[in-house]
Amino acid sequence: MVQRQLPNPRELLELMQFKKPELDARKRRLDSALTIYDLRTIAKRRTPKAAFDYTDGAAEGELSLARARQAFEDVEFHPDVLRPAENVDMSTQVLGGTSAMPFGIAPTGFTRLMQTEGEVAGAGAAGAAGIPFTLSTLGTTSIEDVKKANPHGRNWFQLYVMRDREISYGLARRAAEAGFDTLQFTVDTPVAGARLRDKRNGFAIPPQLTVGTIINAIPRPWWWIDFLTTPKLEFASLSTTGGTVGELLNAAMDPTISYDDLAIIREIWPGKIVVKGVQNVADSKRLIDAGVDGIILSNHGGRQLDRAPVPFHLLPQVVREVGKDATVMVDTGIMNGADIVSSIALGAKFTLIGRAYLYGLMAGGRQGVDRTIEILRTEIERTMKLLGVSSIEELEPRHVTQLTRLMPMPTGSAEAAAASARRPRSSSAASKTAPATKPAAAKKTAPANKA
């Protein structure tokens, strides 16, 4: 028999510990975010559709982005047991300097349209956390103002080579004079990708207002108050500010960009130079031979060529070929600290986050970016402790297996099929119709390949 008694008020009080209410609404909503996806949910609720979709979307069917994120989810970790990792050192050396964690903030355009604090919030948060911040050519805060926001931290500059080369050269010189230590020479935007969400939303600078965009913005008055009561939104580094994203890119970029342009920028730039947008092993080798300090495996967040290679899948191959000679970094699809740990284990020296940073910015300005960094820091630390790893240097390929969903068709089979399709058919063969067959269902996950 269970013995029963009247509740003891004192014992009840011990069990009922009420949480002190948080009166700061911004802090309350950010504290409720435990993952980057939580920040994304808050950002979507607080940001007009056109601005949110610019951040969240990708090119055409958005397959490249979906595959990049899936690649990180298709990872199997192999922890070491009885390996105490009570204190974890996440710091790393990258491109001649220190970063407190193995990731930095990637370059993003139109940033103040996402949330009015824009790059100032990103640079300030990065500086406070001890990680690099990258300013985009299409950024909405000047090179000099980013330096003011992050005066003692590491600032990097991302450069597009434009039709008017002197504009690009001038930007590189300005960034060097402001003390930026690394230049990201971007090579995957000879023309703009087809960002269909932006076209459907009329996303542009200045914003193209329609009845739909106004209705969508009505429940978000804070965004409009910020937009209308702060300095005019424009590209801080460019004089051309009117048009859609695609129109602006096509007007500014040049499809004739070549190795000659890289050589000129290499002469102008006094610091480290890395090439952003590398998508195969052969180009990795050629670029290292051309004298760059590093490469960033990236498909531009899936925003340029849809169905482009997944950077995380390329990583082991590229590291094997050029990892001893240059710094190999990776971006696209990173939404969890475990994604960063996986990349470092497979040989990346560093990683970059774009959307994850912008979700935090839209969710809560500077405090939201701080929250993004804190979430990733916590996830990196926890993952490393569970792997039995105390420092970044201890992470090795043996800690990670990349599971494979997308298996390439053997080249010979593809060539045979194409040749057969081109081969003329006889009249007797043409008159016959083969019975229809139902294609076999593809396996969801193929056998794991050790990285």
Residue 275, domain extent:
27-399
Query: What is 33-98 written as a DSSP string?
Result: --SHHHHHHHHHHHS-HHHHHHHH--STT-HHHHHHHHHHHSEEE-PPSS---SS-B--EEETTEE
In a domain, 447, yes or no: no
Determine the Cα–Cα distance for residues 393 and 383; give it in Å rounded to an integer.
Answer: 14
Segments in the chain below pLDDT 50:
241, 414, 416, 425-451
pLDDT at 245: 60
- Is residue 235 domain-resident? yes
Catalytic-residue membership of 300? yes
Per the domain annotation, does 3 fall within a domain? no
Q: Which of 349, 159, 336, 353 is nearest to 265 (CA)?
A: 159
- What is the model's pLDDT at position 435? 42
Give bridge partners of residue 274 from the DSSP assignment. 184, 294
User: What CATH number corresponds to the domain at position 283?
Assistant: 3.20.20.70
- Predicted pLDDT at 450: 41
**Residues 75-113 as b or e (16 or more Cβ within 10 Å = b):** beeeeeeeeebeebebebebbeeebbbbbbbbbbbbbbb
Is 304 domain-assigned? yes
| Contact assessment for residue 287 and residue 266, using Cβ atoms and an 8 Å cutoff | no
Is residue 208 one of the residues assigned to a domain?
yes
What are 285's two structure tokens? Answer: 């080798």
Q: What whole-number distance in Å separates Cα of residue 150 and Cα of residue 153? A: 5
User: In the prediction, which pLDDT does 189 show?
Assistant: 87
Q: Which residues contact 426 (CB under 8 A, 6 or more apart)?
A: none
How far is Cα 161 from Cα 278, in angstroms, rounded to an integer? Answer: 16
In DSSP terms, 449 is beta-bridged to: 402
Q: What is the model's pLDDT at position 67?
A: 95
Tell me whether residue 385 is in a domain. yes
Residues constituting the chain: 451
E strands, 300-341, in order: 327-330
Q: Which of 78, 300, 313, 399 is catalytic?
A: 300
* CA gap 286, 402 in Å, rounded: 26
Which ranges of 242-310 does DSSP label H, i.e. alpha helix? 245-252, 259-268, 281-289
Cα 233–chain centre separation: 23
For residue 448, being part of any structural domain is answered with: no
User: How does pLDDT run across 229-246, given as a tens digit for each residue?
Assistant: 888 777 766 665 455 666
Residue 137, in any domain of the structure: yes
Total domain count, the chain: 1
Phi, psi dihedral angles at 144 (to 5 degrees): -70, -35
End-to-end Cα spacing for the chain: 59
Distance separating alpha carbons of residues 314 and 332, to the nearest angstrom? 12
Q: What pLDDT shows up at residue 198? A: 84
Q: How far apart are CA 57 and CA 80, in angstroms?
A: 38
Q: Element (H or E) spanning 10, and its range?
A: helix 9-15
* Amino acid 14: pLDDT: 75
Average pLDDT of the chain is 87
For 61-86, the pLDDT digits (tens) are 999 999 999 999 999 999 999 888 88
